[in-house]
Each structure stands twice: as structure tokens, then as C-alpha cells.
Structure 1
Amino acid sequence: MPQPNIDAIHAALARVNDPEIRKPITELGMVESVTASAEGVVAVRVLLTVAGCPMKEQLTRDVTAAVSAVEGVTSVDVALGVMTDAQRGELRTRLRGDAPANEIPFAQPGSRTRVYAVASGKGGVGKSSVTVNLAAALAARGLSVGVLDADIYGFSVPRMLGVTGRPTQVDQMIMPPIAHDVKVISIGMFTPGNTAVVWRGPMLHRALQQFLADVFWGDLDVLLMDLPPGTGDIAISVAQLVPSAELLVVTTPQIAAREVAERAGSIALQTHQQIVGVVENMSWLDLPDGSRLELFGSGGGQAVADSLAASTGTRVPLLGQIPIDQRVREGGDDGRPVVLDAPDSPAAVALRSVADALAARSKSLVGKSLGLTPVR
């Protein structure tokens, strides 16, 4: 067999992405050296971003598989090293350029990321379930998606998406874990066990700012922010830190939930945010005889949409009605979103329909400079 070609090996390595950063390891400066013997033995030395990189075994497997496919290669020896501080600094520059360390990319005029803040007036309406399933459905469409669990006190997104890993830090950048092709960050990844978070307002604002600025999200198409119920500190901080974020209001059909959902959506009047639409969750229960049992009443989602449209003077559509489905609860407990685990179920179909509406939505021009100058 011919001796392996070094250029062909480098081309193969260029198809290997870092599992956390999702960019080729050759572009990230992670390939330190490549040698090939006449017998076809290839030695590759790869530099990890940090010593305790949780993805080093997967990276080793990916490199081995890619290089083994090159003509003439008989065996692959992958050696792992660790980047120096200077190399990590160069990596940060490659990823973020000259942007300040505390800059929020989604708040910049050139950002193409659609940010949806998923809000509700009260707890227990399934806001987090809707968030994680929309994220999984959007990622399944091929979009680059992130979820920020902004419910600091009542975080639940890690369990619902099945995230077990913890973020790693590379030169003041936090690398978010990935589950179902969705990048995820939550305060639950930084607290031991089921420890409660006991913080006042300023700490909440700072945590949200760090999640937005210090986490390396990459080039996201969509960022979903799972807000806590109500119109408190986090909702106000989101409006301040990411003014272009659009509100997605989740409610159930019952009157009590409908009234508080209207209050949650009406915050847009004070923050000058746009409301992308309303999702009605737990709309009905399908019975074996084909009939529907409306456990929480009916018409609540449309009433919220109509009320918010009247108060804001804008069009606020009812994007979907999600039926009660035991598989939604089971998937949330097991970290398997129903849109992936039972894609043909009525709830999954309804959730995918909402995701389709969000994916097709064009970027809002609210708050954006159009670069126009008046003509005299």
C-alpha cells in the first residue's frame, strides 16, 4: 500500500469537529502534529482546550475514525495534550474576534439570532416543556439552537433535555453542554445536587448577563430563553440586556391562567418588546372514544392573544394548542422530548407546528438601525 499522504490526513482531520465548540479542530489550532510512517502508522497529537475535557474520548474516536479512512493508513495513534494559556487566548480570539469579554452577541445590531423569551403568568402551565420541545423540534429542522434556562429558582431544563454534563471553561468562555443538538445552559449545572438558589435581584441580573455574554453560543439561528413565571427581575433584565427578544406567551385554557398570562404579556407595553404569539398548553384530553375532555375549559389561548393584540395594537396570533399527553410528562422526566421520542403523537405534531411558525418567522426590525439618512 502507498504511504499515507499528509495532506490527505489533514483534510480528514478538517472534517472532525470539536464536540463542544462544533468547529473543525484544524481551524481551532487543536492539531499540534501529524506524522505518517512508510508502514501506514499515523501519529496525531491533539491539544485539548482544558485538561479535564469531558469529550476527550469522543474526540479520540472521531479522530481515529477520520484518519483510518485515508488511503494507506494501517493504524492510528492519537496522543492528547493540553493547550497553554497563550494557545487558549488565541482560541478565544479565533472564536470571538476582538469583541469585549462581557459583550452580549444577541444584543448587537448585526446579530442574526432570533431570540424568543418564553413567558407565562403563573407556574404549572408547562412553559418549560414547551420550551425544550420547541428547541428540539427546531434543531431537528437543521437550525442551530440554544436554550437558556433563565428560571434561576425553578430550573428544570437540564432534566427535561437529559443534560448530565457540566460546562467547561476556556479562557473566560463557558462551553455549554449539548443535548439533542441543542446547546444548553442553566444555573442547575453549577449547583450541587438539588440545592436551592437563594439570591436577590442583582444576583439574578448578573447571572443572566453571564449566561448571555460569557457562554460561547456560536452562530445560533434561534435562542430560546425559559423565563420564570410572572413579571419580576428576570423579565425586566431580559428586556434590558436583549431588547430585540420577542415574547412567546404560554397559558392554559382556564380563566385564572388566562388572566395572569395577559399580565405577563402586557409587560411588552413597558419594555417595548414584540409578542411573537401565544401557545395554549393542556388544551384538552383525547378520550378513547374519539371525543375530547376539556379539563381546563376552552378558549383561553385565543382570549389571551386577542387581549394582547388589543392592548399592544399589534397582531398577536394563537400559534398552537397542545393537547394533554402523558408522553410529554414522561419525556420531560426522562430527558427525551416528545417531539423526538413520539413524533406522531398529537402533542408532538402540535408542538412541531409551533416550531415551524417560529422557524419561518423573519428577523424583526424592531430597534434596528436601517442605515437611512434624510434627503434635504
Structure 2
Amino acid sequence: MSVLDVVCGPQSCARSLSDAEFWRLLREELLPLRPSQYDITSVCNLTCEGCLFFSGDDYLGHQDEKDLNNIEAFFAGEAARGVRYGYFGGAEPSLAENKLLIANRHIPYGVVFTNGIKRLSAEIDYRVHVSLWGNPERSRELRGADTMTKQIRNYRNDPRAVFVFTLTARNLDDIPYIAQLCADNGLALTFNHYSPTSKYLDFIGSGAGADPYHITSTAADNLVLSADDLRRARDSIGELLQQPGLRILYEADFNQLIHDPAGLYPDAQGPGEVTRDCGVLLTSTLRHYNTDLSESRGKCCTPNIDCGTCRLYAQSFASVLVRATRQMRQAGGQQRLVKLWRLWCELFLNDDRLRMPADGRATNPISDL
């Protein structure tokens, strides 16, 4: 069973598209994507253990831009240089909704990464990824609050929303529970993998550097996924992909790849080594902006994570998509690429035209054009 056999619900009720129709529409309406990344605010309403934003030094030294005229001019400039897709993060972007509304006037497509405690206005026409860290008890332990009730109340049956369950060494037993909970509330679900920052690894190794975001973890009990944990996660997700009635936005081949203990980046296994095979390495066009609208000089959007241990879902999926594009002319490469783009659209695009399920017609998406 493929991911699109599992994904069936209110978001997938339109006429199915063949691979050729999907590929044509993708190229006409979306590509080239020309994405960039934006930290919207340094304010948050949670204290998550090992928080990616506050774990490290990249967020320091930036005062949040609050002048709406400056923000308007900034995003108008982004549109003028060709940006058509935005990745909007934080700390917590829902606490600076006015900036997102401005961005949405200039950048047509995007995704907002939020903890879901505050519901985003319906005027924000982006995909909304709501982060989960496990059952209510787990959330209180790792985030300082039971967020689930508010998250579900805010986004139940919201067609923009995808719930993103971040897997850690502490919450793998929660996978079936979270999947059923999302299905019962009309919510799509996908998976992220906790990827430790350099500061987090230092903290669990020595106990030094404790702060509100580094409290409960120790060398013996922490969030880092071991090889056995990765196998357990792979098998649990694989079982979910075989169960009808769930709305799991995932794919069997990706499930195997992301859980390989060797990692996604064999060219960067040592501490501090930077891969050359990542889909979100910053370039002159793919940029990351800090909360003061200055351009980041880091390697990527999460420079405080070693490439060799990175399994963050948006970054990993971008890397897999780039590799599939390189391999498009190989045997089966065209179908593989279209399958990945279909899943990307389900995950990251708030546009029903490109989120229709495949209809099973076997076509050659490239030559049919």
C-alpha cells in the first residue's frame, strides 16, 4: 500500500490526477519553487527540552524587527527576487501573526512551523505544521505543558494542518496512539526525528550549560535516537502505512532511508563536518533570515546540528527530493520523482489542485509532456 492509499479524507476529494497531469500542473503552477527560510520571532510560549531555536548561538544578537513598514518592504523585496515559497519558523511564529499576514501578501506558497497553542488566522493561506512530542504526559515532561488539547481544538478538520510527531528515544511507544488520535480528529500526521544540537550533546555529556531548554536529559536518559530506536520507529511507521483509515503522510522508501543508522549524509560523519549533499544548504538564492531580517551566514537553517546526525524531516525530504531529481533519467527514476513530489505537495503545499491522489493510471510523466 502506498502513502496515497492511506491518505484519504476531506483534503483528497477532488478528481484524481494521472502522473502526467500532476507533473504538468506542478511545472506550470509551482516550479521553480525558489524557496527561502524566515525566523519570524524570537518569542515562544513553551520551553521544549533541547529546543532547536534556543539551543546554540545562532539566534543571539538579533532584535526582532517590529516595524511593519520595514517588514512589508522586506517581503516585497523577497518576491521581487523571485521567492515563491517560504519556510516560516520561530521560536513561535503564531505569536507574530501580523508578519505572516504580510508575508502571505507577497509569497504565494509556504509552511508555518508552529506548536499549535495559538490558532493561526484563516487568512494565512499556508500549510500549517503543528509539532507533537507525544502523549499529554510526555508533552508536560518535555515541553512544560500539555499542549494536545489546545492543538486539537485549534486545528481539528483544518485543511491547512499537518500534525508532525517528533520521535525521540522517550516516545516511540506513543506512535500508534498519536496516529489514531489524529485520525479520530480529521488530522493528517507525519513524522520528524529529534536531531541533537551541539549544545544538547554537550549538556548530556557533561551536565554543563543547564537552562530552561536543557533540564531533564542525562547521559543515560535523553532524547537521542539509537540504532535500535531507529529500527523500532521504522517498523512502527511501516505498520501504520498498512492500516486503512489513518491519514499518514509518509512513504515506504523514505521510511527505510530515514531510519538507516548510517544517516543521510555519509560524507559528513565527523563533528562539524558539512555535507555537500543536503537540499537546504544556503546559497545566494536559498537564504535564511534572522528575526531582525538580516541574512544568516550559517551552513543551513539549523547550523547548530551536525550533518551526520541530522534527520529533521523538512531538511531530509528536501535532500531526498534533490537526489531523486539527479537520478530522474535512471530506470524508474521518473516515477520515483513524481511519487516524491506528490508526497511533498501533500506535506508542504496548501493547494488542493496539487494535493489530489494518484488515480492508478500508469503513465510516463516526462515523455507524456
Range into which the TM-score falls when normalised by the shorter chain: 0.3 to 0.5
> Which has the larger Rg?
1
The normalised TM-score by structure 1 is 0.36
Looking at both structures, which has the greater relative contact order when contacts are Cα pairs under 8 Å and sequence separation is at least 6? 2
- Name whichever structure is richer in strand by fraction: 1
